[in-house]
Amino acid sequence: MLVLGIESSCDETGIALYDSEAGLLSHALHSQVAMHAEYGGVVPELASRDHIRRVVPLLRDTLAQGNRSLDDVDAVAYTRGPGLAGALLVGCAFAEALALAIDKPIIPVHHLEGHLLSPLLSSTPPTFPFVALLVSGGHTQLMRVTGVGEYELLGETLDDAAGEAFDKSAKLLGLPYPGGALLSKLAESGTPGVYQLPRPMLHSGDLDFSFSGLKTAVLTLVREHADDMNDTFKADAARAFQEAIVEVLVKKSLKAMKLTGLKHLVVAGGVGANKQLRATLDDEARRKRFGVFYPELEFCTDNGAMIALAGCLRLQAGTPAKVAGSFAIQPRWPLSELMR
Ligand code: KG4
Ligand code: ZN
């Protein structure tokens, strides 16, 4: 079965071809980061318009790279939500039009389910069941995943998401949008221990998170150093922030592993690209003898490959495809609605 995947929930347009036998055949991505950077954040209307400009050329590239034509496609998967309404509508309308033109079914995909399953695209994929730490720009959740569509929420953030905390702290340190990856780069040159920041809810006894206090602590630190915001301060502050957030994410993940007794941990979403998070989890996994799995770096942030994969796995798991024509998007769509 050959599935075409379309992602357009935020500021990346992604298209991919996933074959149930051969795996990922090809994928193409356009990031709008440079366009939004001028405004310091995503401008929804500009995002929608840019998706419109990009989808057709990206589809052509994907088909050419995969050496396939539209006639070979068996189903069209697209991101139904959550995300920006206008941006989602572009991907949805494009998917609907394609499905109608080739007379093939359509499969709406939950964006977070795409992230959650993205480590299955790697050369050493995890097997079910596993604990998933989903750390993206909009979500931070720990889940027990027993199969496709079988998700149990173990804990989640009560306020800011991990990626959001990275981005907001980066902004406070004067880094351009989207600051998460830049902050993490800067932290590499910082000295650990120069500043101490709080580890919110580290000892809360549950698997929930809270990151807004950490961001406020960065704000306070920045205000205290308003007169000497030099490169050394910024690097040390970035390091302190990263140490704090990584410690909370790792400790809570370890607790989830202990509580569930599972042997595989999967890390997905943009923050899963963070080097310190990966290195610390790898160490702990070696010490505690469990396996830890990540998506390939290019599939940590938004992409079409994870949507094509999730669509294909859903169809294989028996989720009914839809006949083109419903134009369904769901900008707000808690993953809990997919859980049993
Ligand atoms: O998964 P994603 O595309 O977001 C949502 O679907 O919501 O991930 C984007 C998030 C951003 O907040 C970005 O700053 C963060 O992932 N991010 C990172 C790194 N690379 C991306 N955060 C920490 N370290 C990184 N290396
Ligand atoms: Zn995402």
Identify whether the C-beta of residue 267 lies closer than 8 Å to the C-beta of residue 280.
no
Residues in the 5 Å CB sphere of ion ligand 2 = 136, 302
DSSP string, 261-327: --SEEEEESGGGG-HHHHHHHHHHHHHHT-EEE---GGGTSS-SHHHHHHHHHHHHTTPPPB-S---
User: Nearest to residue 86, comparing CAs of 33, 56, 43?
Assistant: 43
Chunked mean pLDDT (size 10), the chain, 340 residues: 98 98 98 94 97 98 98 98 98 97 97 96 96 95 96 96 96 93 98 97 96 96 95 98 98 98 97 97 98 95 97 96 90 84
Q: What is the pLDDT of residue 178?
A: 86
Does ligand 1 have an atom closer than 6 angstroms to the CB of 273?
yes
Q: What is the pLDDT of residue 315?
A: 97
Identify whether the C-beta of residue 270 lies closer than 8 Å to the C-beta of residue 299.
no
Query: What is the residue with the minimal CA distance to atom 21 of ligand 1?
Result: 270
Q: What is the pLDDT of residue 338?
A: 83
Among 188, 271, 332, name the best residue to mutate to test ligand 1's pocket (greatest count of ligand atoms within 8 A of Cβ): 271
Q: How far is the CA of 67 from the centre of ligand 1 (A)?
A: 31
Q: What is the pLDDT of residue 325?
A: 86
Closest-lying ligand 1 atom to the alpha carbon of residue 300: 1
As a whole number of angstroms, the distance between CA 17 and CA 26 comes to: 5
C-alpha dihedral, 19 to 31 to 119 to 130, nearest 10°: -130
Q: Which ligand is nearest to the CA of 184?
A: 1
Q: How far is the CA of 329 from the centre of ligand 1 (A)?
A: 23
Q: How far is the CA of 132 from the centre of ligand 1 (A)?
A: 16
pTM: 0.95
Question: Could you give the angle at the alpha carbon of 90 between the alpha carbons of 332 and 4, nearest 5°?
Answer: 95
Q: How far is the CA of 75 from the centre of ligand 2 (A)?
A: 22
Q: What is the pLDDT of residue 340?
A: 56
Does ligand 1 have an atom closer than 6 angstroms to the CB of 180?
yes
As a whole number of angstroms, the distance between CA 99 and CA 79 comes to: 14
Does ligand 1 have an atom closer than 6 angstroms to the CB of 163?
yes
Q: Which ligand is nearest to the CA of 175?
A: 1
Sign of the CA dihedral with 163 first, then 165, 169, and 174 last:
positive
